[in-house]
Structure 1
């Protein structure tokens, strides 16, 4: 059977309201529905495959729907869906509970529908019996796919509910589907009419539609294709003489397919197109594993056939109807006559893709969700919605897909796609754990998988992916819209597990063989080559040093010489190694190197090695630690060092940073219950407040409400941060509201450490004892007043007036910061207070023993989210006030490092390297320069080589963590500084910065 309802005698259904000791809000009832997993008859057994429950009644504005589905009911040995099935609904009398259960006979491919309903009281604990009776049956299923146009160029976007009306009963929702700017694929049945309705607008797309009603819509715009009863996807392997069938999968798709254009915007210029002759080939794919050009032992054949042994192959009949073949029944236009212009495809023409039939979801229609199907990448690949090519040198996977034209549309389509990935997935089945009905749970992927980025284009690069990880990597490309203060993901994700398919392999080629590197530091051979077949397996052939066969990391002996190395493909690389010793190695974790010092005209906060917020007095350096990366949960915690903290001037504009019972934080309509000195704060004092939402205001959240910040010009960026800790509430929120402008909201799940905000820079910093520092930014567009809120209880994605519970709060801060992340805490008590800047003194130009030919490695910490701009990190200059010649490293506009070289007041280098960050927020930047060459690499990945470089002359000033004239402090941490009086090779720069 197909996937629509992946659900005779009467059945007794037990509906039980659960006891009060369950952790269920007092105004909510949790109840369970239970059904037998099988119906055993005289001649056959049916298994339960789908249960649909609707609850309606007073105070329930829209039906509460529960859909429970067996995702592998056709797998061998499947015993059916097992209950109980649980729902949560508001308590009350007069609740109508409707239940529709579907049982399937997978041998006969039939379904029986069983329905029952009851008006029940859900105000207390009780068990209720509902009789569920056989209602109807169905043996055939179909699919409608294409585009529904409300105007000439656009269609609806969102959720479409499928309504079914049992005879003499109220209608109920039995399924949900997605539609994106009109692109859809819906399921239909024979003799069981469904009505598809957009939620919540109520727009009816198809009314009482079924297999028997669809032929009335067939025209040039809509074509009908029938699939034979006996259809098999067959895999065969060549034994040296013939192909021998070793696997045959029975087809479980729709019995009939309707492809076309629908809705009031579809016109006579829209066609559904087909191949207009018989015997057109469908799936027939030979995989030439040994690239011999002929059929030899081990080669594979995939084919769609009429029987499991493939004695009769199958074709597409576009001219006549043959019940044993994939046949066009009616409608549409011949491709050769009316659909020959490829530019019209998906604009006014839809093509039935018989060559892609049964190879991917909806592949015969050429699209799925917002994605067009893309051809096979290699002879061993197959068509799909996502492909990838891998670079060993860059440790990068370049992903490609093909979005339908016009589907990225803020008004009617999606805003873009988000890419999630995970390495260590053994097979495709690990990716299938994210399966949700016919799509994928992208919200779960966002919480559990690594995030590669978002885009509105057809490509994105995954960085930091080692070749040994490629074959265990699963990828999910999720369409999304940002609506209502949160991100909504569609389930029609493009997915791929790259252990199952190749990733665009090229021959192994050496990029750099003469390598000048550090005396003993290992180098990664993957930076020196391109191509190869992942995973590469290296081995030493001759020469000094050692190589790790899996990682490709080569450790030199410290002496010059030739190292010959081979990989699994037999390619050989000769490396001419020249070692160079560093003349300076400084770290800034607990004390100053020679020649360095610090001044600061006042006290400032930082974290100590126990993760406690402490104060450093004026002119005392802040050796900072990461409170979220500690060895022990209790003292001594041995938190990881972040390095010397260097920050500029800032002001906390909250007059009361910890006194949350002060009138400045209160607005009587929304006040939460407040308890001062309720627990130990991040600074180790018992000064944290408990705030609780008790639902005083039925239409709004109880919240702390700091009103009327004024005096900020348009374009000013404000950063709002506060320390929070869960109590009875684990989901809280903070907001900045500019009068007359949309809010900047952040909703934080403190239990799972996840956030729901996508449009503004934001973050969560973990501290010991369950504390977190949460923050959100807002850039003003007017001069209007600002308001800040702290909400102790919300939903995970938005405001929720019914959410209840309490959290602890401490240390609120509102600061102007163009960096778009918070700086260290500034305490206030009665008025706004400021922090003065740090100034790091250095040895000056004497640090560079060879200013004409040098290599520098900088390691520093970016407290932001690695897409925000830091200040000046390194400055080599003609004067302390900024001369005509300088080499300067600043934070990139979107993260990373911006390298600037001026000579005679003219810019000769202006290059930004901005890859993903290394762990723990640390960035490593390696720079080398000599006459006619400037090279740089950051974190191993992004790199740059330029030839327009002349050595600086008259260097008189060298600073770290600040720019000319003691300004533009980096607002971050200096960790390491290493100097070589020679130029190291790019392979070494990438290896050292990784």
Structure 2
């Protein structure tokens, strides 16, 4: 080994270079001290390693936090692409906007514009369902990409199903062999409130609601430990049963079932054989599921969203001509769905962009209760993102969707006395029932060619 020196200064050798030499029987006096020094060094190393563990744990936690923050920043960057790298409507038109709302966060609108009196559940940037307080812009994000979907605007809806998250509590009822483990895993909102349902073959669990004749949609979040199937069913007071097969994965998905009934009661049920986690059950009137409405012992109604702005508060607003630009997504099913409206507080004098019950996107002008301009832009499918521009001044109207050829009209007056801008709804109770991503108002009309460029 030649020689070695320990941290305490003691040196050992086998070549005669130190006092503690191992040759010629020297090991008899030097070996044990060297072993002792070795043990001291080893214990010191163990202590140092132990003290490093908390620091390493802290560093690991910090790294995890940093990773999460980086993911959120990346999502924000992905969202920002739509408003920073792409040429802006005002740049295309060469006109400074009177208003320009890019719905990227809860700060997207001035105070007082959002007037809805109910909290609303949306997907946040981290992919979790979250409840947004009333009077706060409910900004919805894509649960997979985290890119902003926009300001979610919905009509009033009631969750008719009681105990939406408590499958182990009445009025949930089982038949056959069903084992329910309450609060067994993390729910879509990040809380430990999702129940495990182990449903044997021929068995099931159901919950009934009071209804009237009409169309209703059942919805529920399901996931499993491994890929499986489950039957989402609905029976009514006439014993008319309908169902759909759900392909359940290890990730949370919201499954829906839409049906009509003439009975006074209607239920939702999960049939076996299957083992799944369940959360957020809902039965609501209508042909598609809207945002989640939690319930306990009673039904709960979510108030209609109201987003209005007084035009008198918009600097540079021009009442005689304007170009509006909207980015939005159509609803999950057909119906009259309004994306933007400017009016006098009534439906008698207004300019409006909406999709009719036949899925045709329209830009209309109503003066004294009569429709004087009706520009039909063709059909836009359900659950589809689109861009639309609508330019108006007296006897010069044009509109375009998704870069299509402009539809024009050279005849028609402009309604007088416009006072209000409504985002995602009109004055007659028609809502987009979907997210609005961008809402822009340019205080001058543009050419038909420019309306096409705006939406390309």
Give the TM-score of the pair, scaled to structure 2: 0.71
1:641/1:742 CA distance change after superposition, 3 Å = same
CA contact (8 A) 2:342 2:420 kept: yes
Counterpart for residue 248 of structure 2: 750
Q: What secondary structure sits across from 2:450 in the alignment? A: helix
2:320 is aligned to 852
Query: Post-superposition shift, 1:770?
Result: 0.8
Task: Give the equivalent residue in structure 1 for 2:29.
Answer: none
Indicate if the aligned counterparts of 2:375 and 2:399 stay in contact, CA closer than 8 A.
Answer: no
- Report 1:514-663 matches (<5 A): 521=87, 580-584=94-98, 585-590=100-105, 591-594=107-110, 597-629=113-145, 639-663=146-170
SS of alignment partner, residue 598 of structure 1: coil
- Residue in 2 that maps onto 1:861: 329
Higher helix share: 2
**Does residue 935 of the first structure (1) align with residue 398 of the second (2)?**
yes
Q: 1:963 to 1:723 in 2, by over 3 A?
A: same
Cα deviation code 1:16-74 (max 9, x no counterpart): xxxxxxxxxxxxxxxxxxxxxxxxxxxxxxxxxxxxxxxxxxxxxxxxxxxxxxxxxxx
3-state DSSP class of the match of 1:643? strand
Say which of 971, 975, 982 aligns to 2:433: 971
Query: For residue 672 of structure 1, what is the aligned residue in structure 2?
Result: 178
Residues 913 and 942 in structure 1, CA contact (< 8 A), matched pair in contact too: no
Q: Deviations over 1:491-511 (max 9, x none)?
A: xxxxxxxxxxxxxxxxxxxxx
Task: Looking at secondary structure, tell me which structure has more strand per residue.
Answer: 1
Give me the whole-angstrom Cα distance separating, in 2, the residues matched to 1:583 and 1:686. Answer: 46
Q: Is the 8 A contact 1:735 1:789 kept in 2?
A: yes
Q: Secondary structure at the match of 2:451?
A: helix
**Secondary structure class of the residue paired with 1:838:** coil
Measured in 2, the distance between the counterparts of 1:610 and 1:680 equals 15
How far off is 1:875 after superposition?
1.9
2: CA distance, partners of 1:772 / 1:979 = 37
Matched, 1:812 2:281: yes
Task: Give, in whole Å, the separation in 1 of the partners of 2:242 and 2:354.
Answer: 28
> Match for 2:338 among 856, 868, 872?
872
User: How far 1:610 sits from its partner (Å)?
Assistant: 0.7
In 1, the alpha carbon distance for the partners of 2:391 and 2:118 equals 37
Mark the CA change 1:749 to 1:833 in structure 2 (over 3 Å): closer, same or farther: same
Instruction: Return the structure number with greater relative CO, CA threshold 8 A, min gap 6.
Output: 2
Q: Aligned residue for 2:420?
A: 957
Distance 1:883 1:649, change over 3 A: closer
SS of structure 2 residue aligned to 1:992: helix
Q: CA 1:727–1:943 in structure 2 vs 1: closer, same or farther (change >3 Å)?
A: farther
Contact 2:232 2:270 in 1 (8 A): yes
- Residue 357 of structure 2: which of 883, 886, 893 is its match? 893
**Matches of 2:338 and 2:126, distance apart in 1:** 29
Distance 2:405 2:299 in 1: 42
Which residue number in structure 1 is paired with residue 455 of structure 2? 993
Q: Residues 615 and 900 from structure 1, CA distance in 2 versus in 1: closer, same or farther, beyond 3 angstroms?
A: same
* Residue 296 of structure 2: aligned partner: 829
CA distance in 2, matches of 1:673, 1:943: 60
Instruction: Assess if the C-alpha contact under 8 Å between 2:188 and 2:252 holds in 1.
Output: yes
Query: Is the 1:651–1:833 contact (alpha carbons within 8 Å) kept by the matching residues of 2?
Result: yes
Report the secondary structure of 1:842's partner residue. Answer: strand
CA distance in 1, matches of 2:150, 2:369: 34
- Shift, 1:984, TM fit: 3.0
Q: For the residues of structure 1 that align with 2:411 and 2:118, how far apart are their CA atoms?
A: 44
Q: Which residue of 1 aligns with 2:257?
A: 776
SS at match of 2:114: strand
Q: Does 1:682 align with 2:188?
A: yes
1:722 positional shift: 0.5
| DSSP-derived class of the 1:954 partner | coil
For 2:205, the equivalent position in structure 1 comes to 704
Q: 1:859 & 1:852 partners in 2: Cα distance? A: 23
RMSD: 3.0
Shift of 1:627: 1.3
* Residue deviations 1:562-607 (CA, integer Å, cap 9, x gap): xxxxxxxxxxxxxxxx963242432122113457632333433222
Q: Is the 8 A contact 1:917 1:923 kept in 2?
A: no
**Which of 366, 376, 386 is residue 902 of structure 1 equivalent to?**
366
Which segments of 5 or more consecutive residues in structure 1 lack a partner in the other structure? Answer: 1-519, 524-557, 559-577, 630-638, 752-768, 794-803
Number of equivalenced pairs: 367
Q: Secondary structure at the match of 2:317?
A: coil
Instruction: Say which SS state the counterpart of residue 989 (structure 1) adopts.
Output: helix
Q: C-alpha separation between the residues in 2 aligned to 1:838 and 1:736?
A: 29
Mapped contact 1:656–1:830 kept (Cα < 8 A): yes
Contact 1:927–1:934 (CA under 8 A) maintained in structure 2: yes
Q: Give the superposition deviation at 1:845.
A: 5.1
Q: Partners in 1 of 2:101 and 2:276 — Cα distance?
A: 43
Q: Secondary structure in 2 aligned to 1:664?
A: coil
**In the aligned structure 2, how far is the partner of 1:778 from the partner of 1:914?**
28
